Amino acid sequence: MIGSDSCVSVPVIINGQSYDPVRYGDEERWQSERKRCHDCSVIKGGYHHPGCDVEECPVCHGQIISCGCLDEGDE
């Protein structure tokens, strides 16, 4: 994951609905003074890399890797 300032913006599909991914620094549940994400190293305003444990779900605002919103077969 480490090596670029941002990942490509890929829509998050949940229950057939498309959502913009939450950028680092825009999370509702996680606020950090760090300039880079501690897990995937994106800069503030960048998109997290796939599998990052800081990325927030745009629907429930939990950790997208474990919140359950993608469990309906959506990715």
**pLDDT confidence of residue 26:** 93
In a domain, 13, yes or no: yes
In a domain, 26, yes or no: yes
In a domain, 35, yes or no: yes
Which amino acid, one-letter code, is at 35?
A: K
In a domain, 40, yes or no: yes
Show pLDDT as tens, one digit a residue, over the chain (75 residues): 555 778 888 899 999 999 999 999 999 887 778 889 999 999 999 999 988 999 999 999 999 999 999 875 544
In a domain, 73, yes or no: no
In a domain, 75, yes or no: no
Query: Interior CA angle at 58 toward 8 and 31, to 5°?
Result: 90
Q: Number of structural domains, the chain?
A: 1
How many CB atoms neighbour CB 59 within 10 A? 15
Q: How many CA atoms lie within 13 A of 38 on its CB side?
A: 7
In a domain, 60, yes or no: yes
In a domain, 7, yes or no: yes
